[in-house]
């Protein structure tokens, strides 16, 4: 990664953090967390921006959710030490 690419990445991260702060303002943030790349990044940036005490991850599972998918969601949330709520939708 060259300097320009790194600079662009930092700019995008700062913009994402600004948006997170603006949306959450002084309220807790609830992140719909599927365990995919996009929601994992959003969850990580939300925790880094707002702090653990203001972020909750929520995952909806269904009969088609595999045990491995659910485990990955739990492992990632545990690694961040973020509160995780799993909603069963059957």
For the chain, give the percent of residues with pLDDT over 90.
93
For the chain, give the percent of residues with pLDDT over 70.
99
pLDDT over threshold 90, residue 1: no
Strand partners, 30: 56
Query: Angle formed by the axes of helices 3-24 and 37-50, to 10°?
Result: 70
Q: What single DSSP character describes residue 50?
A: H
Residue with tokens 């690694």: 79
> Would you say 23 and 29 are in contact if contact means Cβ atoms under 8 Å apart?
yes
């Amino acid at each position: 990664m060259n300097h320009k690419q790194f600079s662009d990445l930092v700019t995008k991260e700062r913009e994402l953090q600004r948006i997170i702060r603006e949306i959450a303002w002084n309220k807790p943030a609830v992140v719909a967390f599927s365990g995919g790349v996009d929601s994992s990044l959003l969850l990580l940036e939300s925790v880094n921006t707002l702090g653990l005490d203001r972020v909750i991850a929520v995952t909806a599972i269904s009969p088609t959710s595999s045990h491995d998918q659910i485990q990955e969601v739990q492992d990632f949330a545990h690694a961040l030490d973020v509160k995780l709520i799993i909603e069963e939708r059957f």
